[in-house]
Amino acid sequence: MRTATLALRQWLLPLAAGFVLAAPAVGQFINRAAWLGIEEEGIQPGFRRGPEYYLDRMSYVVLPPWWRRGLPLFQDQVYYRVGSVTGREFTIEGGFDHAIDLGQDVTFRYHLLQAENRDARFLRNTVELELPTGETSALFAGGELFQDKSVIDASFGAWLFRENEQALRVMVTAVDAPSNKSQRVEYRTDPWAIMLSGAFGDPESHRIVFDFGAQLPLVMRDLMDGSRFEMQRWIGSFETHLRLGERDWLVLGGEIEWTDKTRRDVDPARFRRDFRDLRVEWWRDGEIPWSVGIAHFHETEDDRRPGGAASSMRMRRDEWFGIGRIQMPVADRWFFEPQVFAGNVRRFERGGMSPEYVDRFEGKVAFNARYDFSERATISFIVSTQLDAPEFGGGGVQFVARF
């Protein structure tokens, strides 16, 4: 199975268990469901998964920028965030989307995704050619051509319609295509992934974007030891902005994931993961904008192995946090944006013979400074501190620009 594991590490790696709380919607370009991962579900074993696992990410990521009203999509953009929650860790997440008109109605698109954090480590480069089939529809085809020759993925699909800020897009990905070229593994069921992405509504009133996809069930066999590996995954995310009045917005976002992996050999194992998050916020615009809201994270991981509880692992996590933010102008183009996250973390983990149970208050205060280069580009500097203890809470830099 070691050979299969090494092969899996080189396949299409995850966009991370990203959160609608912070990540731009890039699903209209790249299929996040085609996430094969590794036995540990993509979690980097070198990083500590402490009780503040999801709260930690808020320490170095700015929630959706205040000027990002109405969820603008389908634009060229670049975004990067670099940060850490301790002096020993380093995280980087970023992407780049750019389109070039080649003439004769043909468009070339290039997409870059990069991440190195506690959930994933990957670098993906995708090129794409697009040909319109009508005033509001188009066909496209692309692939990750910069990967190792044995792990190239090919995608094709269509914009069912695309007009102004509204669109609906479907895509199919042939993972590791063609699937019969490997000298290490063979597929009994080929790996295919599908995705549906869309955006609807008026950015000035009510707007919703979504991204749903699936890694369809696949079965592979290791040619060295004969072991079998089976997997399927479903993921989805959405975010909606509803204008309640001249200055008020209601923001709702969420993400789900369900994964099932099975290894069948002399040391069989089965891994299941169920993840859900939900955020509700009320944004008030004005001379000093502010927001309040609630975020909830739920995660269950069940890793069953031979030997019963002594070798198996089960983890259940529920986190509830209140969110408070305010934006205060300091100087020309400079803003001070403190953010508060505080609530309850409940986590139960059973691995080996030493179960662990946590049920306690956690919180952080982030002191963010933001500089606006223009209405389309901004950079933020983040430093946070623990609320429940006099300790450094994390920090980083976040840059976002739309062309």
Lowest mean pLDDT among 147-151, 167-171, 359-363, 381-385: 147-151
Return the amino acid letter for 373: F
Q: What is the mean pLDDT of residues 265-281?
A: 85
pLDDT at 164: 78
Which residues is 363 bridged to in the sheet? 342
Lowest mean pLDDT among 121-125, 268-272, 297-301, 343-347: 121-125
pTM check: above 0.85:
no
Q: What pLDDT band is residue 291 in, cutting at 50, 70 and 90?
A: very high
54 part of a folded domain: yes
Lowest mean pLDDT among 100-104, 166-170, 220-224, 241-245: 220-224
- For residue 57, the 8-state DSSP code is H
184 part of a folded domain: no
Indicate if the pLDDT at residue 398 is higher than 60: yes
Q: What is the mean pLDDT of residues 38-64?
A: 59
Q: What pLDDT band is residue 330 in, cutting at 50, 70 and 90?
A: very high
Which residues is 252 bridged to in the sheet? 240, 280
Indicate if the pLDDT at residue 158 is higher than 90: yes
Q: What is the mean pLDDT of residues 155-168?
A: 87
141 part of a folded domain: no
- Kindly state the helix (H) or strand (E) to which residue 6 belongs, with its residue range: helix 2-9
234 part of a folded domain: yes
Cβ of 104: how many Cβ atoms within 10 Å? 6
Q: Is the C-alpha dihedral spanning 70, 75, 80, 85 positive or negative?
A: positive
Q: What is the mean pLDDT of residues 98-114?
A: 87
Stronger pLDDT, 336 or 93, i.e. the higher one: 336
384 part of a folded domain: yes
301 part of a folded domain: yes
Stronger pLDDT, 70 or 373, i.e. the higher one: 373
Instruction: Please tell me which of 194-203, 276-285, 384-393 the model is most confident about, judged by mean pLDDT.
Output: 276-285
Q: How many percent of the chain have pLDDT more than 90? A: 19
Indicate if the pLDDT at residue 6 is higher than 50: no
In order of 41, 42, 129, 193, 203, the CA distances from 14 in angstroms are 9, 7, 23, 13, 30
Which residues is 36 bridged to in the sheet? none
Q: What pLDDT band is residue 214 in, cutting at 50, 70 and 90?
A: confident
- Arithmetic mean of pLDDT over the chain: 78
Cα torsion 13, 257, 263, 312 to 10°: value is 120
State the burial class of residue 88 (Cβ atoms within 10 Å of its Cβ: 0-12, 13-18, 19+).
exposed
Q: Rounded to 5 degrees, what are φ and ψ at 128? A: -150, 140
Return the amino acid letter for 178: P
| Percentages of the chain per state (helix, strand, coil), in multiples of 5 | 5, 60, 35
Q: What is the mean pLDDT of residues 326-337?
A: 91
Which residues is 173 bridged to in the sheet? 155, 193
Give the separation between CA 396 and CA 403, rounded to whole angstroms: 24
Q: What is the mean pLDDT of residues 179-198?
A: 83
Q: What pLDDT band is residue 160 in, cutting at 50, 70 and 90?
A: very high
Contact 398, 384 (CB under 8 A): no
Q: Hey, what are 58's tokens?
A: 């808020």
- Decide: helix, strand or coil at residue 332: coil
Domain count of the chain?
A: 1
Indicate if the pLDDT at residue 122 is higher than 60: yes
Cis peptide before 178 (omega within 30 of 0): yes
Lowest mean pLDDT among 20-34, 98-112, 286-300: 20-34
Show the domain range for 288: 2-91+114-119+207-402
State the burial class of residue 384 (Cβ atoms within 10 Å of its Cβ: 0-12, 13-18, 19+).
buried
Q: What pLDDT band is residue 304 in, cutting at 50, 70 and 90?
A: confident
* DSSP string over 382-399: EEEEESSSSSEEEEEEEE
Question: What residues contact 210, with CB distance under 8 A and at least 6 apart?
Answer: 196, 197, 198, 199, 236, 237, 238, 239
Contact 148, 123 (CB under 8 A): no
pLDDT at 292: 94
Question: What residues contact 103, with CB distance under 8 A and at least 6 apart?
Answer: none
State the burial class of residue 144 (Cβ atoms within 10 Å of its Cβ: 0-12, 13-18, 19+).
buried
Buried b (16+ CB within 10 A) or exposed e, 175-192: bbbebeeeeebebeebbb
Give the separation between CA 348 and CA 19, rounded to whole angstroms: 22
Stronger pLDDT, 304 or 228, i.e. the higher one: 228
Lowest mean pLDDT among 114-118, 368-372, 393-397: 114-118
Q: What is the mean pLDDT of residues 215-223?
A: 86
183 part of a folded domain: no
Q: What pLDDT band is residue 371 in, cutting at 50, 70 and 90?
A: very high
158 part of a folded domain: no
